[in-house]
Amino acid sequence: MALRAGDRSQVAMNGLKEKVLTLDTMNPCVRRVEYAVRGPIVLRALELEQELRQGVKKPFTEVIRANIGDAQAMGQKPITFLRQVLALCVHPDLLNSPDFPEDAKRKAERILQACGGHSLGAYSVSSGIQLIREDVARYIERRDGGIPSDPNNIYLSTGASDAIVTVLKLLVAGEGPTRTGVLIPIPQYPLYSAALAELNAVQVDYYLDEERAWALDVAELRRALCQARGHCCPRALCIINPGNPTGQVQARECIEAVIRFAFEERLFLMADEVYQDNVYAEGSQFHSFKKVLTEMGPPYATQQELASFHSVSKGYMGECGFRGGYVEVVNMDPAVQQQMQKLMSVRLCPPVPGQVLLSMVVSPPAPSDPSFAQFQAERQVVLAELAAKAKLTEQVFNEAPGIRCNPVQGAMYSFPRVQLPPRAVQRAQELGLAPDMFFCMSLLEETGICVVPGSGFGQREGTYHFRMTILPPMEKLRPLLEKLSQFHAKFTREYS
């Protein structure tokens, strides 16, 4: 591998050395990482946008990026109160301005008091500003009907992504047959597969049941676990509820069954609950794993290990760019918790503006506050529109022959199943593409609509899907859905 001195000087003579860092010499785990949400289809979308700007003629006038759950990129306005408080914190001279409501000023002053040097520009403690951790704990208590939450079990993070990867890092150990396995849903949010690849852990797939609106079935968990036990050491179970990309909201009984299963089988539970405020369907309700686990009493309440994740990127606020989030750990070994704290301290601290936004999300204006009415109204508009868009999406797709879409009970996506004609599948194979990637690429080239192929999230062999966010504004969403359905019909005719 290493060149000997003689070879080396020869290479030097013709003036060219091989690079130190190449595909062959780089970290093989990183090479194995895949991340479809920002993969080739998105790169092509960026190119198309550039071509449009340069005046290249296309069969469409704009690229619509329906590939990612990014509300404000889709035109959603920020919640006024959140931005008022943050602006005050960023530039405290504004505390003297008459243009800001009293409660926003009070919040900002309270937060600045809790910052080093009374400034957002200081590093915070690595686990996040203590005051905000306390606000989060109180929020969780309200959410869970009074079940206690300890601020010392809450760690603020750089978006939920950061906290999820941190907890996975703790769990990874072993080699060969003792290598850590982690159960993740299929379809999944590809942060999980990417992080597991990078950490060289074993991804253990359990399939959600498309026929039953993407329900999670404990029998399937058991199948996946038993099969995995042959070649790795499964130690954690990830759940995404409400589901991304699948949009289901889990029933309470289902959560209970999952907790019993995890306890029996000695699995650390990771509950990705970043869409906890995004529940739309009649009869659906969000139940936190923490609440259900606690209400089940001992031994679950006292022993089952759990990490629950939340974010400022989703919900009604959609403040993705600020990278705020948190994890609450339950029943975690205190010594491991210390290790987690140490690990977080290496990166110094999560971004303080994201912490500030999180503090607003968990302690919004109270009914007696001057900002309450406007805050509530803005929040309600966003959530009501999302509910309407969820319904519309399901409805339009299900009217299209060859497309079948489960109800979007929650989160921000539909994940419809599409029939692709055999000749299209064959053509895709000739091109070396997954059939649904071929479909999505064709869609993008012809309509400018950017969605992500199901293969990026995982799906049962021989089925094809795509994920589309429901976030575009109502007046754009309906034509978008119709255009997409029409393109599918045309594509089907073309390859039949």
Cα(463)–Cα(176) distance, integer angstroms: 32
| Cβ neighbours around 402 below 10 Å, total | 15
Residue 56 touches which member of ligand PLP, its own copies, none, C-beta under 5-8 Å by kind: none
Contact call for residue 35 and its own copies (CB under 8 A): yes
| Cβ nearer to its own copies, comparing 455 with 492 | 455
- The region of 69-77, 105-113, 210-218, 407-415 touching its own copies under the rule CB under 8 A is 69-77
CA distances from 460 to 19, 75, 248, 433 (A): 41, 34, 17, 17
Residue 189 touches which member of ligand PLP, its own copies, none, C-beta under 5-8 Å by kind: ligand PLP
Site for its own copies in 354-383 (CB under 8 A): 354
CB 412 within 8 A of CB 386: yes
Cα(452)–Cα(436) distance, integer angstroms: 9
Sign of CA dihedral 465, 471, 474, 479: negative
| Cβ nearer to its own copies, comparing 121 with 145 | 121
Contact call for residue 235 and its own copies (CB under 8 A): yes
Among 103, 277, 305, 378, binds its own copies (CB under 8 A): 305
Q: Minimum Å distance from CB 35 to its own copies?
A: 5
Contact call for residue 98 and its own copies (CB under 8 A): no
Nearest to 472 by CA among 483, 462, 480: 480
Cα(385)–Cα(473) distance, integer angstroms: 9
Site for its own copies in 125-154 (CB under 8 A): 125-126
Residue 223 touches which member of ligand PLP, its own copies, none, C-beta under 5-8 Å by kind: none
| Cβ nearer to its own copies, comparing 89 with 424 | 89
Q: Minimum Å distance from CB 18 to ligand PLP?
A: 29
Contact call for residue 320 and its own copies (CB under 8 A): yes
CA distances from 413 to 189, 256, 280, 351, 364 (A): 11, 25, 12, 27, 26
| Cβ nearer to ligand PLP, comparing 311 with 447 | 311
Strand, coil or helix: 189: coil
| Cβ nearer to its own copies, comparing 68 with 249 | 68
CA distances from 178 to 129, 231, 268, 269, 303 (A): 38, 8, 16, 19, 24
| Cβ nearer to ligand PLP, comparing 69 with 472 | 69
**Positions in the binding site for ligand PLP (CB under 6 A):** 69, 159-161, 189, 191, 240, 244, 272, 274, 311, 313, 320, 325, 348
Can you name the residues that pair with 271 across neighbouring β-strands? 239, 308
Site for its own copies in 275-294 (CB under 8 A): none
Q: Minimum Å distance from CB 160 to ligand PLP?
A: 3
Cα(359)–Cα(368) distance, integer angstroms: 18
- The region of 133-141, 279-287, 335-343, 378-386 touching its own copies under the rule CB under 8 A is 335-343
Query: DSSP letter at 73?
Result: G
